[in-house]
Structure 1
Amino acid sequence: MSSNPIQLRHATLHIADGVAEFTHQRPEARNALSLELRADYAELVDIVERDASIRALIVTGSGGSFCAGGDLKSMTRARERPETGSPAAIRLRVMEAHGWVQRLRNLEVPVIAAVDGAAAGAGFSLALAADFVLASSRAYFCMSFAKVGLVPDLGAAWLLPRAVGMAAAKELVLTARKLGAQEAQRLGIVHAIHAPESLAEEARRFARRFVSAPREAMGLGKRLLNQSFETPYATLAELECAAQAVASSVPYHAQAIAALI
């Protein structure tokens, strides 16, 4: 796969040496989640699902912001038009976003959110959908929906309680307060904190840890963990048996055993 960046609508995708790097490219709007960026995410998951050479995905922002949330200007324009501003149209638009959010969360490679600056509203939701969040020391997180009279979307109501517990999730949603990188790490949202100038390279260094691992085993293991809170033990055991049968049939397993022996 070429290492030349793929120019999307409001993002770029760079694939090199087993690592894909998806960068929001709307710094003038603090990388707000426009309709175009949503379409870029849908295209991103298509590419990563099809490309077996990809072993890790980094999601990040440009210009000192990760994602400041929904694009309020485009949301306002949409509400002014009957065909896009009705409750039915809004519901459909949010449901369409859930399609790619769920696929992003279930990608069979580790997803790393490299957060610099704001991860607010839907941007916070996107960070929560990643497997690991690496933050700069100036990063902050905010469930800002209440500030504009909305409820959390893009899966935040499901993801946030599982990351921080129900009481903390309710406090963050209902107060819409900002959460600094260090507090976010204490709550279990952030995996590691780095200086702003080194965040990008640290994210790439972290992603390279997965390059030599078998994609099948990583993907199956991730799916088991993603389902563990809602799945009865007996059902999860059945899924584990099937996953282990698949993983053990991949050439990587036999090669690794032979090397160890």
Structure 2
Amino acid sequence: MTSVVDLSEVAPGVLQVTMQDRQNKNTFSPELMQGLVEAFAHIEANPGYRAVILTGYDTYFASGGTKEGLHSIQQGRSKFSDVNLYSLALDCRVPVISAMQGHGIGGGFVFGLFADFVVLSRESVYTTNFMKYGFTPGMGATYILARKLGIPLGHEMLMSARSYRGDDLAKRGVPFPVMPRADVLGYARELAVDLADKPRGALVTLKDHLVGGMRRELPAVIEQELAMHDVTFSQPEVRERIERLFGN
């Protein structure tokens, strides 16, 4: 693994994947993307794992695209689909828990929502802020937010690009545990241990059944999002917004 992604078997059959690109605050830097792809390849190759915990460091879970990455898409040199992060948790054969102890920003929040289980922090900020920069959402956001949060809240988050504290989302009735940051990882580990007590074959079979429809439907959504990017990312205003607003 790269130095920015740490793997640790925290209980028998439970692998914790910790994103810790401190220099880039867990934006999707090349190092973090490579580390995540390698981590899930390692999980796929090791039949001893029965549950996975995905988490970040300190106050950051995952912060979405880098400024350089957004400019690259805006200039037509790359697409968000060039590296498939969005479906790593969905395609993982065993259950994945997103322990979002810290902020989930843009594609970083979307990345976490593709897990089988999601745990949020009361203090942290969660946002799908794509439209803030003038381009339409990617990473499967237009699919997973409505599916996991419900259509009214999901569409509000996508269109308004507002930021929400975990406490705010709890009041809106999100169907996930929302707890103090200090308790998020402990809760996720307890859940992972419960999962890992089950036979791996049964876990894999049940997950295949539960998420099979999502796995079949997502590729068409990604194609639609890429088509929208062809329209919206090319606008001159997008480059100016990236320069002016990135990190704010």
| TM-score, normalisation: structure 1 | 0.74
Report whether the alignment pairs 1:105 with 2:90: yes
Q: Write the letter of the residue equivalent to 1:67.
A: A
Bigger mean CA offset, 177-186 vs 195-204: 177-186
Query: 2:54: which partner in 1?
Result: 59
Query: 1:210: which partner in 2?
Result: 195
Query: 1:96: which partner in 2?
Result: 82
Alpha-carbon offset, residue 167 of structure 1: 3.3
Alpha-carbon offset, residue 116 of structure 1: 2.1
Partner Cα distance (2:110, 2:173) in 1: 15
Distance 1:215 1:189, change over 3 A: farther
Verify the 8 A CA contact 2:105 2:127 in the aligned structure 1: yes
Distance 1:86 1:160, change over 3 A: same
Distance 1:230 1:47, change over 3 A: closer
Query: 2:160: which partner in 1?
Result: 175
Report whether the alignment pairs 1:222 with 2:207: yes
Verify the 8 A CA contact 2:94 2:203 in the aligned structure 1: yes
- Percentage identity across paired residues of the two chains: 26
Deviation per CA, 1:53-90, whole angstroms, max 9, x where unpaired? 11111111112111122112x326x63xxxx8742x32
Counterpart secondary structure, 1:101: coil
Report whether the alignment pairs 1:48 with 2:43: yes
Alpha-carbon offset, residue 227 of structure 1: 2.8
Q: Write the letter of the residue equivalent to 2:78.
A: I
Partner Cα distance (1:66, 1:163) in 2: 18
Computing the radius of gyration from Cα coordinates, the structure with the larger value is: 1
Alpha-carbon offset, residue 30 of structure 1: 2.5
| TM-score, normalisation: structure 2 | 0.78
Counterpart secondary structure, 2:195: coil
Alpha-carbon RMSD across the aligned residues, in angstroms, is 2.3
Verify the 8 A CA contact 1:27 1:64 in the aligned structure 2: no
Query: 2:66: which partner in 1?
Result: 71
1:144 to 106, 111, 129: 129
Partner Cα distance (1:214, 1:41) in 2: 26
Partner Cα distance (1:21, 1:190) in 2: 23
Counterpart secondary structure, 1:12: strand
> Which is bigger in relative contact order (C-alpha 8 A, separation at least 6)?
2
Counterpart secondary structure, 2:62: coil
Query: 1:198: which partner in 2?
Result: 183
Distance 1:230 1:214, change over 3 A: closer
Partner Cα distance (2:120, 2:156) in 1: 22
Bigger mean CA offset, 215-224 vs 182-191: 182-191
Q: Write the letter of the residue equivalent to 2:81.
A: M
Alpha-carbon offset, residue 223 of structure 1: 1.8
1:10 to 4, 9, 28: 4
Q: Write the letter of the residue equivalent to 2:83.
A: A
Verify the 8 A CA contact 2:128 2:158 in the aligned structure 1: yes
Partner Cα distance (1:97, 1:139) in 2: 27
Verify the 8 A CA contact 1:133 1:189 in the aligned structure 2: no
Partner Cα distance (1:64, 1:168) in 2: 24
Q: Which runs of 5+ in 2 are unaligned?
A: 217-248
Bigger mean CA offset, 49-58 vs 186-195: 186-195
Verify the 8 A CA contact 2:57 2:102 in the aligned structure 1: no
Verify the 8 A CA contact 1:20 1:56 in the aligned structure 2: yes
